[in-house]
Structure 1
Amino acid sequence: MKKFGLLGLSFLVLTSILVIPGCAGDKNDPASGLPTFTSEKALVSAFTQAQNRGYAGNWWAMEAMPPVPAAQADAAGVAVNKAYSDTNVQVAGVDEADIIKTDGKYIYAVSGSVIYIAHAYPSESAEIVGQIAIEEFSPQELFIDGDRILVFGYTYTGYTEPGYPITIMPDDMMPGSSSIIYPYRTGLTSVKLYDIKDRSNPELLKSIDIEGSYLTSRKIGSDVYFVINSYPNYSDIKPTASDLIPGYRETSGDSKTPVSLKPIASYDQIGYIPPVQAASFITIASLSMTDADKAVSKTVIVGSGENVYASADNLYIAQTSWPVYDGIGLPIADQTQNTVVTKFSLKAGEIIYQAAGKARGHILNQFAMDEYDGYFRIATTISGYVNNRDTSTNNVFVLDASLKVTGALEDVAPGESIYAVRFMGKRAYMVTFLHVDPLFVIDLAQPEDPKILGKLKIPGYSNYLQPYDETHLIGIGHEVDPSIDAGMVHTENAVYYTAIQGVKLSLFDVSDVSNPVEVYKEVIGDRGTESLAASEHKAFLFDKESGLLVLPVTVAELKPGQPKNMQGEYVFQGAYVYNLTLNGGFSLQGKISHYDTNEIFQKSGEYFYGGSGQITRSLYIENVLYTLSQSRLQLNDLADLSILNVLALDSK
């Protein structure tokens, strides 16, 4: 098997549980302080044993390692008033990549396989001025920084990738014949940095390819941090370390010369947290958007990243460690769900391992995690089902800087699961659901003693909570009709509650922590109505100053006389535009659609499959509202929602 040249870089690899004799040597990786593999054989043995045992990821939680000292990162930047909207993010000052961005003059949007650059304001002169389209590259989302744009996407490589020759093997079935063995490689996550001083002619400055799938990214200042999941290649009967370690390459400019992938690290640059269970890799990397010549920083973890939280100072990767009852002698106490959390400090593009810890249960999404005043907070659900009864419980854990549990609030809302979480300073707001929606107000002022201050039980539930101010929250989820049997219905494609009705918007007043109140609510449509904003926070547009609230909605309505437990007929897809105030609640200003009024929605049974006109995002610049679908970027006047302009997009 061909051996690759090694990169002169320092990396960290992290994983959990199965002891592999001979892995650790007597020297540690100087960057991380973690033990390293002593040979290629030791690394290959760790992965092949995990493969033979059927592991596809981390199953058990690791023991926490002591933190490695690191300098504190600068504080997050203070938000300034802008005449245009930013991406709706979890943490102020920590940007998140999305399919659309604006700098107040131009809009940058992903549609199909093309990135469009539109001169967007003023509306009367709006036009598409530039495009980025690369063969065999599928863009996913992007960042902007002045005259730079950074694009994340997927590159299809097939079997002709340079550096991976085919192998001809004898065919045991037919003597004298042979078979061609094509090396299996995962797809490539590609990261491309462009100079866009000339918006009509973007210039590629740097391209990075890493074997694996893109998980998420964050931007702090001009530095971008991103996370890639990679799975080892077991196509060879006897794989080498080079076969298993993710491939990496970097090219400058718009080079047409093929560059071979090389392993992202050598065996002796790979560290781990003992004891080791090697199954898959995560890569955390960073690059500068303003300095294309600055080296790319990388850290590699063996594990399976599922959710990521980032503050201005630290990045946390969470992965679920599910119990495996295979009789290998683990203590009963270890046979439970755990969320394994790994912490890295972020400083001017540098990624430094700090600590690893765990919390009982699994998490819903990134909003189940938070950092405040030196502590890490996490909300989890421990799922269970015994004798046809849901035995799930919910918890909030507070961990210190070393990720050791400092305080715990456990066994909240037995028989229910977490549907939404939002941490806000010294408090957390958590929604659980079974038949009704309890909104819990949780006090975290004393990290060692979190406690429930109050709760509100109302029909329905929220999937997403958006802060309005310090004492008010916006919730988006679904209404539930208590008069309908709330039993679960199983269909070929889904499991759902028959009592769930239309999309519900709520405004909660939590100024009296012992008695939270739903002061306003708005229900859209009937059963079958959905909003992308309930599951994708970047689709939620809200500006407190103006009261503007916009969300994409697919509306289903029942015909007269139909019972409420039936699926409604789809009648609208587009954006609902509201004005929200503390005095008046939700006031619908109008609706925007990219479909013609006489266009028939494509349906298949009970499910709506949105076409190219399905609105997925919205933003504003000055007095203009912009909505994005695969087919167009539409401009509407915020005063009366009249159409000002339409920029057609070719969504190929």
Structure 2
Amino acid sequence: MLNSNHLKVTAAALSLALLSACGSGSDGNSAGQGPGNGGVQTPPDKVPDLSTGEASAKKLRKASAEDFATYLKNGVYLSQHRTSDVADGSEAGTSPTSGEPPAFSTTNVQESAVDESDRIKYDGDYLYIANTTDFQAAEGEHQQSVRILKRGEAGELTPLSSLIASRGYYSKQRLYLKEDNLAVVLSNEGGIFGIEPAIDGVFSTTVVPEPVAQDFTLARVDIQDPAQSNITHQLRFDGELVDSRVIGDSLYLVSEFTARFDGFEQQGEDLNLTNYQKILATDISELLPKVTDIKTGTQKLMVDPATCYVPEQASELNGYHQITSVTRVSLSDPDSLTSTCIANRTRGIYMSQKNLYLYGYYYDPEDVTFEDTTQTVMHQFSLTENAATYSASGRVAGRLGSGNTNLRFSEHNDLLRVVTSRFTEVNGMVHKLYILEKQGDNLALLSQLPNDTRPTPIGKVSDNGLVEEDIYAVRFFGDKAYIVTFRQIDPLYVLDLSERNDPKITGALEIPGYSAYLHPVSDTLLVGIGQNVQDWFIDPVAQSDDQIGAKVSLFDVSNIGAPTLLQEKVFPGGYSPVEFDYHAFSYIKHSEEVFRMTLPIESWLTQDESDNSVTWYRRSELAAFEVHSGETPKLQYMGSSVIEPQSDSELQGYVWSGDDRSVIHDDHIYYVHGNFVWSSLWQTPQNTTGPF
């Protein structure tokens, strides 16, 4: 058995965001002397004093196949006493551009030209919907399918075909559309295995069971003729999908893989040495993730251990057993793929047109305190036509919170901006903006806010002298940043980032409720989507019911020193999925001064019955708005497409609004609710036809 120090270090490693990189060629099988082991060594006569690798934000070094094999095997050996180890996974919308307004809306994304996966894709002629139903009881098998609908000349929708993308079980199905190629990415939501230091220094553990399989699938569909669409490639990757992006023809899949070894002995003498000898004698290829061609059954390694990287300070006594892979797949030729592997866990990604950033968290497990000493570790990979190449690392104090964490990052004029949060006993919540620049192999800190010169905190100071507000939304737009904090009231902060060495808070606006998603319409107008809660959490009877619910707000930010609220619309008893998934938000520039947008709203309302009882009922709707940006800016509510109760068994029951989507095409609105579509016209969204 491992001694207590080893167990402590092993457990602490789960909280580290150590990232180290490795690259692979297309065959993924180069392994140096011997099959991936760098040659055969004499079995050791004792177990060395092993420890997990330490989190590093410094340059990585290329390791030989032997070095990498030792590093990974040491990590697998150190991890053998854990029963579960599951990694947790989990500026939106393109900026307004000049020129001819587009005819239809597409997926709302963070960065222009960097596509993100979603459950629907639309090209102006065909609508592709990833069905949410994943189990066909009549057939007794799992089934993932994609519906294809054709748009007619008059705007009508006609169901065309249904494509079975997979018969395996996956909880999530997302799409990419590129010319004649439809990519279907099927994955499971990762479980969470958390180890946190308690006050007494003893580790407390929380385990959420992992998915049934540690894999995800990519299906490439030829849609040159959507009526005769067919799957040309099906690839199954070992590991759990963290996230993905598409730039041009390149699909980037970021995934995690936990190396496991089933050959450890459970009984016998000197188990430590026996098991260490067994793992060292294991071929490294048995511990690496693989990619399987489902159609042919052929299999190859995802990564090449001969070209892997380890932390610069790593020695033969260090190790870690988890790998994060960045795999680039050509959408036009999925057989052409390259991978870059990262040793250890990744919490999420942010991608610009130039670079991919992987981020994770690190804290010193020996530093047991009420203070949050977490640091966010970031690793930058430059993007080329055929690969992602490691280039620099950095870290900042704090963590990224929850919900749309990628929106806390922004790359602008070769600078990386990031907003983090942490708790301190002296100041309460400390929210900070950092501006970093790549200098050699480091992401060097140029400036931060607050600072000694500008100490005003981000977040309102309570009567007790502490900042108790959390960050609910962050949005970067050019040289500005907008931050919303909330506890009882919503301060909207405007930050001027035009001077890289001197960022500053220029203005703030306090209004009831909060915005969880911010969408810049222009340099002068900002849309906020969130909740109008006022003092409801403190005094439920202080406000009438019609003041509590989903809220859409329009802000005037033309004067960065004094932002103002122009108009707002409240949906009583409702919320919008846009709060936690900005893909549910559709947006299009209709003319030079008019912008159109739609968003789903789910409301729980009451109806008084004749016997004086009250009945609760649910209302699902797609709200349509126009933003006018002329001399007198305004927010105009056009109405809502409402889903009426359906008699069809497939349409009955609760349908989660979190998967609701919409498309705006000229004067037509298409509302995707569940697996079906409803249609209406822009001027009369309440007149709905469907389902299709």
The bucket for the TM-score relative to the shorter chain is 0.7 to 0.9
State the AA in 2 paired with 1:193. Answer: R
Offset at 1:202?
2.0
**Does the Cα contact within 8 Å between 1:56 and 1:279 map onto a contact in 2?**
no
1:38 matches 2:67: yes
User: How many matched pairs?
Assistant: 554
CA distance in structure 2 between the partners assigned to 1:425 and 1:585 by the alignment:
23
Determine the structure 2 residue equivalent to 1:510: 557
Task: Point out which structure has higher relative CO (alpha carbons under 8 A, 6+ apart).
Answer: 2
Secondary structure class of the residue paired with 2:227: coil
CA distance in structure 2 between the partners assigned to 1:613 and 1:404 by the alignment:
42
Structure-to-structure mapping, 1:82-481, within 5 angstroms: 82-111=102-131, 112=133, 113-123=144-154, 126-133=157-164, 134-136=166-168, 138=170, 140-154=173-187, 186-237=213-264, 238=275, 239=279, 240=282, 242=284, 245-251=287-293, 255=295, 257-260=296-299, 262-265=300-303, 267-275=305-313, 278-292=320-334, 295-325=336-366, 336-364=373-401, 365-384=405-424, 391-401=428-438, 402-410=442-450, 411-413=457-459, 414-481=467-534
**Does the Cα contact within 8 Å between 1:422 and 1:430 map onto a contact in 2?**
yes
Structure-to-structure mapping, 1:62-73, within 5 angstroms: none
Offset at 1:557?
3.5
Offset at 1:305?
2.1
CA displacement, residues 188-233 of structure 1 (integer Å, 9 cap, x when unaligned): 1111212111212223232322112222221112222121122232
CA distance in structure 1 between the partners assigned to 2:229 and 2:308 by the alignment:
37
Q: Structure 1 residues 499 and 614 mapped into 2: Cα distance closer, same or farther (>3 Å)?
A: closer
Q: Structure 1 residues 272 and 592 mapped into 2: Cα distance closer, same or farther (>3 Å)?
A: same
CA displacement, residues 480-511 of structure 1 (integer Å, 9 cap, x when unaligned): 22376269xxxxxxxxxx99931111111111
CA distance in structure 2 between the partners assigned to 1:500 and 1:48 by the alignment:
58
**Does the Cα contact within 8 Å between 1:594 and 1:632 map onto a contact in 2?**
no
Offset at 1:317?
1.3
Q: Structure 1 residues 568 and 591 mapped into 2: Cα distance closer, same or farther (>3 Å)?
A: farther
TM-score, normalised to structure 2, is: 0.72
Out of 547, 570, 584, the residue aligned to residue 595 of structure 2 is 547
CA distance in structure 2 between the partners assigned to 1:116 and 1:339 by the alignment:
40
Q: Structure 1 residues 323 and 450 mapped into 2: Cα distance closer, same or farther (>3 Å)?
A: same
Secondary structure class of the residue paired with 2:620: strand
CA displacement, residues 398-436 of structure 1 (integer Å, 9 cap, x when unaligned): 110231111111353222221100011111111111111
The CA RMSD measured in Å over matched residues stands at 4.0
1:595 matches 2:644: yes
**Does the Cα contact within 8 Å between 1:428 and 1:443 map onto a contact in 2?**
yes
**Does the Cα contact within 8 Å between 1:316 and 1:343 map onto a contact in 2?**
yes
CA distance in structure 1 between the partners assigned to 2:177 and 2:147 by the alignment:
13
**Does the Cα contact within 8 Å between 1:409 and 1:450 map onto a contact in 2?**
yes
CA distance in structure 1 between the partners assigned to 2:485 and 2:560 by the alignment:
17
Offset at 1:334?
11
Out of 673, 680, 683, the residue aligned to residue 639 of structure 1 is 683
CA displacement, residues 256-282 of structure 1 (integer Å, 9 cap, x when unaligned): x4334x443354433222445624221
CA distance in structure 1 between the partners assigned to 2:29 and 2:286 by the alignment:
18
CA distance in structure 1 between the partners assigned to 2:313 and 2:656 by the alignment:
50
Q: Which runs of 5+ in 2 are unaligned?
A: 1-25, 33-48, 89-95, 134-143, 190-210, 265-274, 451-456, 460-466, 609-613
Q: Structure 1 residues 53 and 141 mapped into 2: Cα distance closer, same or farther (>3 Å)?
A: closer
Determine the structure 2 residue equivalent to 1:520: 567
1:556 matches 2:597: no
Structure-to-structure mapping, 1:14-53, within 5 angstroms: 33-36=61-64, 38=67, 40-49=69-78
**Does the Cα contact within 8 Å between 1:189 and 1:212 map onto a contact in 2?**
yes
**Does the Cα contact within 8 Å between 1:573 and 1:615 map onto a contact in 2?**
no
Q: Structure 1 residues 484 and 419 mapped into 2: Cα distance closer, same or farther (>3 Å)?
A: closer
CA distance in structure 1 between the partners assigned to 2:309 and 2:258 by the alignment:
17
Offset at 1:39?
6.0
TM-score, normalised to structure 1, is: 0.76
State the AA in 1 paired with 2:635. Answer: F
1:7 matches 2:48: no
Q: Structure 1 residues 105 and 633 mapped into 2: Cα distance closer, same or farther (>3 Å)?
A: same
Offset at 1:643?
5.4
Determine the structure 2 residue equivalent to 1:491: none
CA distance in structure 1 between the partners assigned to 2:553 and 2:636 by the alignment:
12
CA distance in structure 2 between the partners assigned to 1:430 and 1:313 by the alignment:
25
Q: Structure 1 residues 201 and 514 mapped into 2: Cα distance closer, same or farther (>3 Å)?
A: same
CA distance in structure 2 between the partners assigned to 1:296 and 1:353 by the alignment:
17
**Does the Cα contact within 8 Å between 2:625 and 2:639 map onto a contact in 1?**
yes
Offset at 1:128?
2.0
